Amino acid sequence: MSQQLIKVPPTKNTLLRLKRQVTFLEAGHDLLERKRDLLTRLVYERIGQYRRLRQQVETMLEHAYRCLSVAQMRMGGRSIHQAALGVEPALSISIVPRRSLGIEYPAVRAERIQLKPLGLLGTDISFDTTREMLAEATVLLAQLGEVEIALHRLMEEQRKAQKLVNALKYNIIPRYERTIRFIQSSLEEEERNALFQVKLLRERAETG
């Protein structure tokens, strides 16, 4: 039992101080529970968003590589490589930090740049179609990367909040409460002993 108590002197001042601290810890526990619940809701929202984007990316990449296979059959790998050397960027990407509930993660913004067709330079139309599809897939991949990193950090923060909630609920607050009861019991025992001693002194004074 002594190992489960806080090592403090069993005095009235200590009792008052521990009661104030328990009130503070209970308020912190309530705040952490609300934060944990909010993080849990955000995690489930991000999971749904992640699954939708992942499905879109897989579908888009499947179509893009199928079109690339057609272009390779029609043009040959060497021609595709030479044509790709003169291709201008298809995307403009910016990455800035973003915060949510104190959690920082990168916000990725990918914008399409209008592609200039290369069909007139001896390439097949399937080459331009492949470029369009890969550009669209890259936009989705940028969004997917942002969601995946945010999801990972939200889950990590949610686990931390859950650990703190459990520690407060099952360990720290109960330990304070046991100590408070112990001190109250000790003070009450001291008070009873004092009253008993006063009673004995009065009885002796009366008989003497």
What is the rounded distance in angstroms from the CA atom of residue 109 to the CA atom of residue 183? 60
Helix (H) or strand (E) holding 174: helix 173-207
pLDDT digits (tens, 9 = 90+) for 107-166: 888 888 887 765 545 667 888 888 889 889 999 999 999 999 999 999 999 999 999 999
pLDDT value for 100: 79
pLDDT digits (tens, 9 = 90+) for 33-63: 999 999 999 999 999 999 999 999 999 999 9
pLDDT digits (tens, 9 = 90+) for 196-205: 787 777 777 7
Q: Which domains, from first to last, does the chain contain?
A: 12-207 (1.10.287.3240)
Cα Rg for the chain, rounded, in angstroms? 35
Q: Which residue has the tokens 């408070």?
A: 180
pTM here? 0.75
DSSP conformational letter for 93: E
pLDDT value for 15: 94
